[in-house]
């Protein structure tokens, strides 16, 4: 295992913004103990955690899980009949009829795997999916970790490399470091709404060869944290690139339920791959990831997800399953995953309420994203690309030179210093762009906009006061 001393200095810098979370916790504790602050509480909008931001959970999910945890509720007539029937079926699929038993298999309960494959086939217009290709785990990060551990090999020029977008999900750089994989950055095009550029992919690959051995390309679609949605033509180009260069495609598709951009739709990499014909459908190695941490479900704390493994050597597939065998996924998160991929259908008792709650979440997200986008672009020294999906906006900061120099003297990134000051003065916790792989020349912040409208209004009001005060302080 990599020691603390061996960790790449760049990765230590990326990890440093976790101090923002510690700072937020410290300020919250101070307020609890009676300290006087210009705000009543800290509002944390740094991560894609809708429930922490104040969004309500989906009733059907919580009702089913409640009955599974306490089967006496199967007799509770105040709960909808379809809730109790679903819980009964899920309990019957559990070993011993209890969520307290170990998972039946290390890859996940067969009943849940089957529901996942049916979801994928509905989503991808009938493209086949098979339970043996589904591996369930404690979230998409865990499943990705299994893959990276398996791919990790060599050192120096022979070290496994993975082409990774910049900006990327903020947990990704540390994960790659811990698994011994070299991050090979490719820049997304900010002026194009954070689009993938094929020339940039070729540049990144050419630059990497001779320094490491690139074996995979990581794609986030819809983009995390950019909110960009790739169209079919772009996906085809990326698949062709991966096929030509012999790269494994790692497709993170967690925010597929949250596309709100006009004339935009989510198309999975698997669907496009199979639409491209046998030359690609039977050749390109693809692993796609999904989890409970979606915009609509938002069940981040349950830690559940799956990956679908396509065109991998059977020995590799078996090895992945064996790696997972040491840590069976929690039963409760598997049951929540089953409910996510198999929601109430039209005509069922819970459908109307479920549909209303999903629509409320999607409408809130779309309206919040538009309002925050307009607000941010109305502030001097900030410009923001419009998001099409996901839960984040990712604005760019054009900071005063004096503040950049102050950050250098303090030994922190300029965007981290900005976030620290905002947190201390106004009690708003944002994510610093350097967590997402951005360099010193590109200061960005990450804002989760999936929150109750009143909470977002409070965030924007405090942000406005702080930013104008900062510009006055550093003219």
Averaged confidence pLDDT in the chain: 91
pLDDT confidence tier of residue 351, bands split at 50, 70 and 90: very high
* Residue 424, domain CATH: 3.90.1150.10
Rounded CA-CA distance 19/420 in Å is 9
Last residue of a domain, one of 288, 308, 341: 341
Last residue of a domain, one of 289, 312, 341: 341
Same domain, 296 and 371: no
Same domain, 362 and 336: no
Same domain, 196 and 306: yes
Q: Return the beta strands (E) in 231-275 as ranges.
A: 248-252
- Whether residue 425 is contained in a domain is answered as yes
pLDDT confidence tier of residue 327, bands split at 50, 70 and 90: low
How far apart, in Å, are the Cα atoms of 170 and each of 47, 303, 305, 306?
Answer: 9, 17, 18, 20
Average pLDDT over residues 205-223: 96
Average pLDDT over residues 174-198: 95
Range of the domain at 167: 95-341
Inform me whether the pLDDT recorded for 357 exceeds 60: yes
Same domain, 273 and 414: no
pLDDT of 442: 83
Rounded CA-CA distance 148/153 in Å is 10
pLDDT of 440: 67
Same domain, 365 and 465: yes
pLDDT of 325: 60
Same domain, 145 and 18: no
Least confident of 124-133, 174-183, 310-319: 310-319
Residue 401 burial class via C-beta count within 10 angstroms: exposed 0-12, middle 13-18, buried 19 and up: exposed
pLDDT confidence tier of residue 18, bands split at 50, 70 and 90: low
- Whether residue 164 is contained in a domain is answered as yes
Number of structural domains the chain divides into:
2
- Whether residue 74 is contained in a domain is answered as no
Same domain, 289 and 396: no
Inform me whether the pLDDT recorded for 14 exceeds 80: no
- Whether residue 65 is contained in a domain is answered as no
Between 8 and 470, residue with greater pLDDT: 470
Q: What is the pLDDT of residues 287-297, one digit of tens each?
A: 999 999 998 99
The pair of three-digit structure tokens given for residue 321, joined into one six-digit string: 């399953």
* Residue 309, domain CATH: 3.40.640.10
136: CB partners within 8 A, 6+ apart:
107, 108, 109, 112, 113, 116, 304, 305, 306, 329, 334, 337
Same domain, 310 and 397: no
Between 329 and 166, residue with greater pLDDT: 166
Is 232 within 8 Å of 257 (Cβ atoms)?
no
Rounded CA-CA distance 415/13 in Å is 12
In percent, the amount of the chain with pLDDT more than 70 equals: 95
Provide the whole-model pTM. 0.92
Same domain, 366 and 401: yes
Inform me whether the pLDDT recorded for 368 exceeds 50: yes
């Amino acid at each position: 295992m990599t020691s603390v001393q061996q960790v790449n200095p760049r990765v230590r810098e990326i990890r440093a913004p976790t101090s923002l979370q510690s700072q937020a916790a410290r300020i919250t504790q101070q307020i609890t103990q009676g300290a006087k602050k210009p705000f009543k509480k800290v509002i944390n909008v740094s991560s894609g955690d809708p429930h922490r931001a104040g969004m309500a959970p989906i009733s059907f999910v919580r009702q089913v899980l409640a009955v599974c945890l306490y089967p006496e509720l199967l007799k509770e007539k105040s709960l909808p009949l379809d809730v109790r029937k679903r819980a009964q079926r899920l309990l019957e699929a559990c070993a011993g009829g209890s969520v307290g038993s170990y998972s039946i298999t290390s890859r996940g309960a067969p009943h849940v795997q089957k529901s996942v494959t049916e979801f994928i086939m509905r989503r991808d217009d009938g493209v086949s999916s098979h339970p043996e290709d589904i591996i369930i785990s404690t979230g998409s990060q865990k499943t990705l970790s299994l893959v990276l551990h398996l791919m990790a090999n060599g050192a120096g020029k022979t070290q496994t490399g993975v082409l990774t977008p910049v900006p990327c999900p903020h947990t990704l750089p540390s994960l790659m470091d811990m698994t011994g994989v070299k991050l090979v950055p490719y820049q997304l095009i900010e002026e194009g709404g954070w689009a993938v550029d094929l020339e940039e992919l070729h540049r990144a690959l050419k630059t990497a060869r001779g320094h490491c051995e690139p074996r995979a390309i990581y794609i986030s679609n819809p983009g995390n944290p950019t909110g960009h949605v790739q169209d079919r033509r772009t996906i085809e180009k990326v698949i062709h690139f991966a096929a030509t260069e012999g790269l494994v495609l790692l497709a993170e598709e967690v925010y597929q339920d949250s596309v709100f951009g006009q004339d935009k739709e989510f198309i999975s990499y698997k669907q496009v791959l199979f639409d491209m014909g046998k030359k690609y459908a039977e050749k390109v190695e693809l692993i796609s990831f999904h989890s409970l941490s979606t915009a609509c479900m938002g069940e981040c704390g349950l830690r559940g997800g799956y990956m679908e493994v396509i065109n991998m050597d059977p020995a590799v597939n078996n090895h992945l399953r064996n790696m997972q065998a040491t840590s069976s996924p929690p039963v409760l998160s598997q049951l929540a995953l089953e409910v996510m991929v198999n929601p109430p259908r039209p005509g069922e008792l819970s459908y109307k309420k479920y549909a209303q709650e999903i629509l409320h979440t999607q409408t809130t997200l779309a309206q919040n994203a538009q309002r925050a986008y307009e607000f941010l672009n109305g502030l001097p020294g900030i410009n923001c690309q419009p998001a099409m999906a996901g839960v984040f906006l990712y604005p760019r900061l054009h900071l005063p030179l004096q503040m950049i120099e102050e950050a250098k003297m303090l030994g922190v990134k300029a965007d981290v210093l900005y976030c620290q000051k905002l947190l201390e003065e106004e009690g708003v916790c944002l994510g610093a762009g350097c967590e997402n792989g951005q360099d010193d020349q590109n200061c960005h912040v990450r804002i989760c906009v999936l929150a109750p409208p009143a909470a977002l209004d409070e965030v924007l009001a405090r942000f406005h006061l702080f930013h104008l005060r900062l510009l006055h302080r550093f003219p």
